[in-house]
Amino acid sequence: MLYHLLYPLKTVFSGFNLFRYITFRATYALITSLLISFLIGKSFIRFLKRMGFGEKVKEDVPERHRSKEGTPSMGGLIIMIPAFISIFLWARLDNLYIYLFAISIFLFSGLGFIDDYLKIRRIKKKGLKIRVKFLGEIIVSLIVLIIYWFLIKNEHKSEIYVPFIYHSILDLGAFYIIFGLLILLGSSNAVNLTDGLDGLAIGCSLLTISAFTLLAYLSGHIKIANYLKIPYIVGSGELTVLGGAFIGASIGFLWYNTHPAEVFMGDTGALGLGGLIGLFAIVLKKEVLLPIIGGIFVIEAFSVIIQVLSFRLTGKRVFKMAPLHHHFELLGYPESKIVARFLIVSLIFTLIGLSIELKIR
């Protein structure tokens, strides 16, 4: 909004020319969402407590989690509300990518909100049934992908790129919608599975979103994209502002989510952030790079898959408990140490992914 209001006034005051620069608006989008999350955080947590929106700890988690019973959930709103306000203020509202991402995040978060509400209000002990929730994720993903396919102009839309090769290796055509569906479902569920320890999911998400925000800026700058030999995505540079808003809001949420957490993000935050990360990979043509940059999410998701398959096929478990972070808890590691080490590994994955895309490539 501010771009449309103030940039035209550059002839009156040259300082307003700053609003043309994506880096300027992205920086202040970050600062704005961070400040808003700080301002509303405490009050929102108190509101959740008054409303009785306390977390019901699952039965299939380590015993030490019993002490977290009653901690407010739905804290993902402390990410979403500041981020959306900041995007509205600092992003160009004539960019279709902004609307695509806004719709995607809103729908994924909305589905998560319904699941959280049903659990917290004890309407349904375990929230939405797994099949219903998964069907909801499929419907949301298809809505987002259909909008992307028919309304967004992107000459690389259906192409697949892999690290180390300058050109696309495959054009899926309309079948890309199925491929994109797998990306969105995998990303949203992987972030959701990782959300089990204080600060873990939001910390890993923060690193991954930061990487994709950088890639959005580079992919949207024709000279830099050509120099780095990465696909130039017209209009994607504006997603730097959106990414900045979510980085700031995520930092603000992390302030309250560090151990011992004052609030949990719940599915409201986890599904929303997962959808955001998956859509970043789709739009920027970094689908194959996503499992590297988001390595921790992949490891957490695969630990669950391995555990389930092993138990069904052999009757034995590979891990003491899945996802993987619970395995280390049962080995006796303190929660803060597990989170810190997972974040270090996540940072390493992020740096490896960026180096592959921007240097080794």
Q: Please, are residues 262 and 45 in contact by the beta-carbon 8 Å criterion? A: yes
Higher pLDDT, 361 or 209: 209
| Band (63; pLDDT cuts 50, 70, 90) | low
Dist CA 7 CA 18 (whole Å) = 8
Dist CA 44 CA 64 (whole Å) = 26
Q: Domain-by-domain residue ranges, the chain?
A: 18-289
| Band (321; pLDDT cuts 50, 70, 90) | very high
Arithmetic mean of pLDDT over the chain? 93
The winner for highest mean pLDDT among 7-11, 167-171, 246-250 is 246-250
| Band (54; pLDDT cuts 50, 70, 90) | confident
H-helix or E-strand spanning residue 170: strand 170-171
Could you give the residue ranges of the DSSP H alpha helices within 8-126? Answer: 22-50, 77-90, 96-120
Task: Please state the φ and ψ torsions of residue 171, each to the nearest 5 degrees.
Answer: -115, 110
* 67, 107, 128, 268 from 117: Cα distances, Å: 21, 15, 10, 9
Q: For position 223, what pLDDT does the model report?
A: 96
The winner for highest mean pLDDT among 5-14, 21-30, 159-168 is 21-30
Q: For position 66, what pLDDT does the model report?
A: 67
Q: Please, are residues 202 and 250 in contact by the beta-carbon 8 Å criterion? A: yes
Q: For position 155, what pLDDT does the model report?
A: 85
The whole-number average pLDDT for the span 83-89 is: 98
The whole-number average pLDDT for the span 249-270 is: 96
Residue 271 tokens read as 């599904």
Helices first, then strands: H and E counts in the chain: 14, 2
Q: For position 119, what pLDDT does the model report?
A: 85
Q: For position 52, what pLDDT does the model report?
A: 80
Dist CA 148 CA 97 (whole Å) = 9
The whole-number average pLDDT for the span 257-266 is: 94
> Residue 65: is its pLDDT beyond 70?
no
The whole-number average pLDDT for the span 155-174 is: 90
Radius of gyration of the chain (CA): 20
- Reported as a single tens digit per residue, the pLDDT across 116-143 is 999 887 666 677 889 999 999 999 999 9
Return the bridge partners of 54, or none. 72
Higher pLDDT, 181 or 72: 181
- Reported as a single tens digit per residue, the pLDDT across 184-216 is 999 999 999 999 999 999 999 999 999 999 999
Q: For position 122, what pLDDT does the model report?
A: 67
Contacts of 82 (CB under 8 A, 6+ apart): 32, 33, 34, 36, 37, 40, 245, 248, 249, 252
Using alpha carbons, select from 102, 84, 19, 113 the residue that is nearest to residue 249. 84
| Band (296; pLDDT cuts 50, 70, 90) | very high
> Residue 105: is its pLDDT beyond 90?
yes
| Band (265; pLDDT cuts 50, 70, 90) | very high
The whole-number average pLDDT for the span 328-351 is: 96
Dist CA 92 CA 236 (whole Å) = 12
Q: Please, are residues 160 and 243 in contact by the beta-carbon 8 Å criterion? A: no
Using alpha carbons, select from 115, 247, 104, 74 the residue that is nearest to residue 184. 104
Query: What pTM did the predictor assign?
Result: 0.95
| Band (59; pLDDT cuts 50, 70, 90) | low
Using alpha carbons, select from 243, 168, 171, 174 the residue that is nearest to residue 213. 243
**pLDDT > 90 fraction of the chain, expressed in percent and rounded:** 83
Q: Which residue has the tokens 């998560």?
A: 112
